[in-house]
């Protein structure tokens, strides 16, 4: 009896040790194969350039931690309305020691994603058994979002870690409250919301979990106090960030600027919108294994509850409810290629579905291996554990292959080439005007668009103004002329965009063509 208890106690430790080695090997592979230079040619190179520039500007400009600065600042000081700059501040702290480099941000993202994967898989193994935990671990390591995000210089990897900690910590607190667990889930949930306000879907998931599984906790003052702390902290930052916008006019569209994420009535009524949502939500959110697991649970009639009349799958339903609300509220982005990072926290739901599907298939139960009369006599290839393991492995290989194909398909960006040529002509800090490929107004959704592409500024280490691709005719000329009067020395025009007649006339009279490289022409303003 004592020996059996000791073996059972050691088993989670052995599982965790093996899982840590597997995650470590995966992280090493990501570090060697996934890192991309230049970052402006990588997935979300636009967002990576802005994030790295903010970290770099903490070094170059100084200034308070609560006032992050961007490069597309015109001739101003560059403060910008954005999420709490926890991630660029951490990167900047390392840059002070090692100099300007991209690897600190890449390493921070990799460590955050790897830790989130390990902690989530460990929790699922503890709740559902070693094999379901291993299946969930494999699903996470093969998840397209986890692979692509692993070395991307963006706060989303850290936000996924905070989301995971906030979810796991909340569930444990709801099951067995303690002051330590309360502080843990409150801090993690607040951090997630500060890093990415959209991750506050976590609060909805927490509320649904309490309603479904721990309704008595609704009377606990700690629950409401914790949520109040989260709301106050996130709201305080967002109001402060709006103040930065009112002073500088620069925004990422957090509260200001008219960059609405809400869906229009026409988009809600269009079947193509929902098909697009599924197309992005599966590989970037649930993951391919998570989607298959959901179908398995639906087929086994265990998606809502594992057994007739038993308790519901509160974790699945709560996470799904929170995710659904976000997907609809931010439909403008979640149903398109520019919002793939919005789906990343949903890998927690996908891994949970995989673990529950492994249990539903009878490969293992919470109490241990399922015993059947034919378990020992059946050939190895017909045993449930082997079948589940092989199918999971094949799906994981297919999922990882999909991520690899996605990354290989990322094209070189003209902004990268244009930045290199401009950097050879202009000294760091020179004021320039850059033509962006993005429009000032989204033609599909009819809302203001974040058109301020930072990649040319980042790559050339210049600063200045952005002309949107729909700043045409007299409007575009006047905006360029205004920047010229305020000190702009170069105009960089991204390849692929025609120069309209009015702009060509202005450049002919006020500028000289100094470079005609593959990224686009560069004019020196006179």
- d(CA 445, CA 28) in angstroms, rounded, equals 41
State the pLDDT at residue 470. 92
Per-residue CA distances from 40 to 44, 52, 53 (Å): 8, 10, 12
- d(CA 219, CA 208) in angstroms, rounded, equals 15
- d(CA 197, CA 471) in angstroms, rounded, equals 31
C-beta separation of 193 from 167 below 8 A: no
- d(CA 233, CA 215) in angstroms, rounded, equals 26
- d(CA 171, CA 168) in angstroms, rounded, equals 5
Token pair 């691709």 in the structure block, residue: 469
DSSP designation for 300: T
Q: How many CB atoms lie within 10 A of CB 345?
A: 30
Domain ranges of the chain: 2-359+387-408, 414-525
Q: Which residues of 27-66 are buried (b: 16+ CB within 10 A; e: fewer)?
A: beebbeebbbebbbbbbbbbbbbbbbbbbbbbeeeeeeee
State the pLDDT at residue 11. 61
pTM, to two decimals: 0.93
- d(CA 421, CA 411) in angstroms, rounded, equals 19
465: helix, coil or strand? strand
Tokens representing 282 are 């599966």
Which spans in 409-493 are helix H? 414-425, 455-460, 473-485
- d(CA 103, CA 36) in angstroms, rounded, equals 10
Q: What are 506-514's contacts with CB under 8 Å, separation 24+?
A: 506/477, 506/480, 506/481, 510/481, 510/484, 514/425, 514/490
Q: Classify burial at 516, counting beta carbons within 10 Å of its beta carbon; exposed 0-12, middle 13-18, buried 19 or more.
A: exposed
Closest to 485 in 3D by CA, of 421, 433, 412: 433
Mean pLDDT by 10 residues, the chain (526 residues): 43 86 97 93 96 97 95 96 98 97 98 98 95 95 97 97 99 97 98 97 98 94 98 98 95 79 85 95 96 95 91 97 96 92 97 96 51 47 71 89 93 96 97 95 80 97 96 95 98 93 96 95 97
State the pLDDT at residue 246. 95
List Cβ neighbours of 299 (8 Å cut-off, separation of 6 or more).
Answer: none
Helix (H) or strand (E) holding 166: helix 156-175
C-beta separation of 239 from 297 below 8 A: no
Closest to 472 in 3D by CA, of 448, 506, 446, 449: 506
Tokens representing 380 are 């190895």
Is the preceding peptide bond at 38 cis, omega within 30 degrees of 0?
yes
Token pair 């600027």 in the structure block, residue: 257
Closest to 136 in 3D by CA, of 352, 302, 285, 297: 352
State the pLDDT at residue 64. 96
Tokens representing 429 are 């800090």
Pairing of strands 490-493, 511-517: unpaired
- d(CA 453, CA 460) in angstroms, rounded, equals 13
Q: How many CB atoms lie within 10 A of CB 24?
A: 12
Token pair 């360029």 in the structure block, residue: 480
Q: Classify burial at 144, counting beta carbons within 10 Å of its beta carbon; exposed 0-12, middle 13-18, buried 19 or more.
A: buried
- d(CA 133, CA 289) in angstroms, rounded, equals 13
C-beta separation of 282 from 349 below 8 A: no
Q: What phi and psi values does residue 521 have, to the nearest 5 degrees?
A: -75, 150
Strand arrangement, sheet containing 490-493: 463-467, 431-435, 490-493, 520-525, 511-517
């Amino acid at each position: 009896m004592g020996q059996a208890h000791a073996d059972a106690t050691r088993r989670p430790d052995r599982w965790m040790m093996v899982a840590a080695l597997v995650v470590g090997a995966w992280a090493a592979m990501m570090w060697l194969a996934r890192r991309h230079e230049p970052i402006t040619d990588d997935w979300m190179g636009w967002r990576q350039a802005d994030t790295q520039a903010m970290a770099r500007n903490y070094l170059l400009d100084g200034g308070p931690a609560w006032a992050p600065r961007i490069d597309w600042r015109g001739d101003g000081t560059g403060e910008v309305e954005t999420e709490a700059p926890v991630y660029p501040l951490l990167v900047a702290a390392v840059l002070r020691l090692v100099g300007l480099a991209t690897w600190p941000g890449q390493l921070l993202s990799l460590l955050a994603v790897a830790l989130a994967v390990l902690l989530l898989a460990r929790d699922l193994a503890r709740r559902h058994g070693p094999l379901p935990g291993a299946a969930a671990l494999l699903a996470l390591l093969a998840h397209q979002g986890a692979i692509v995000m692993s070395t991307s210089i963006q706060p989303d990897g850290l936000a996924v870690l905070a989301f995971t900690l906030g979810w796991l910590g909340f569930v444990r607190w709801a099951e067995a409250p303690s002051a330590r667990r309360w502080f843990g889930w409150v801090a993690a949930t607040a951090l997630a919301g500060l890093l990415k306000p959209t991750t506050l879907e976590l609060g909805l998931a927490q509320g649904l979990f309490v309603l479904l599984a721990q309704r008595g906790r609704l009377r606990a003052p700690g629950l409401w106090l914790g949520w109040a702390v989260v709301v106050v902290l996130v709201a305080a930052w967002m109001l402060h960030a709006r103040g930065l916008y009112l002073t500088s006019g620069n925004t990422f569209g957090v509260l200001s600027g008219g960059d609405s994420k809400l869906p229009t009535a026409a988009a809600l009524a269009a079947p193509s919108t929902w098909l697009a949502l599924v197309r992005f939500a599966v590989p970037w959110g649930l993951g391919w294994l998570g989607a298959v697991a959901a179908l398995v649970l639906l087929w086994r009639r265990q998606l809502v509850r594992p057994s007739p009349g038993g308790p519901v799958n509160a974790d699945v339903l709560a996470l799904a409810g929170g995710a659904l609300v976000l997907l609809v509220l931010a439909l403008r982005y979640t149903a398109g290629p520019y919002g793939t990072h919005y789906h990343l926290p949903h890998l927690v739901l996908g891994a949970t579905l995989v673990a529950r599907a492994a249990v539903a298939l009878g490969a293992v139960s919470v109490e241990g291996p399922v015993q059947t009369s034919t378990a020992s006599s059946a050939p190895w290839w017909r045993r449930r554990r082997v079948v589940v393991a092989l199918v999971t492995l094949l799906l994981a290989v297919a999922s990882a292959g999909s991520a690899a194909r996605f990354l290989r398909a990322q094209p070189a960006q003209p902004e990268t080439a244009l930045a290199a040529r401009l950097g050879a002509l202009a000294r760091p800090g020179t004021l320039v005007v850059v033509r962006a490929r993005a429009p000032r107004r989204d033609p599909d959704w009819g809302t203001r668009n974040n058109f301020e592409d930072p990649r040319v500024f980042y790559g050339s280490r210049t600063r200045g103004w952005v002309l949107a691709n729909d700043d045409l005719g007299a409007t575009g000329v006047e905006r360029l002329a205004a920047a010229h009067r305020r000190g702009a020395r170069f105009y960089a025009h991204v390849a692929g965009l025609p120069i309209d007649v009015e702009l060509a006339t202005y450049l002919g009279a006020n500028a000289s063509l100094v470079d005609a490289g593959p990224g686009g022409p560069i004019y020196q303003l006179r």
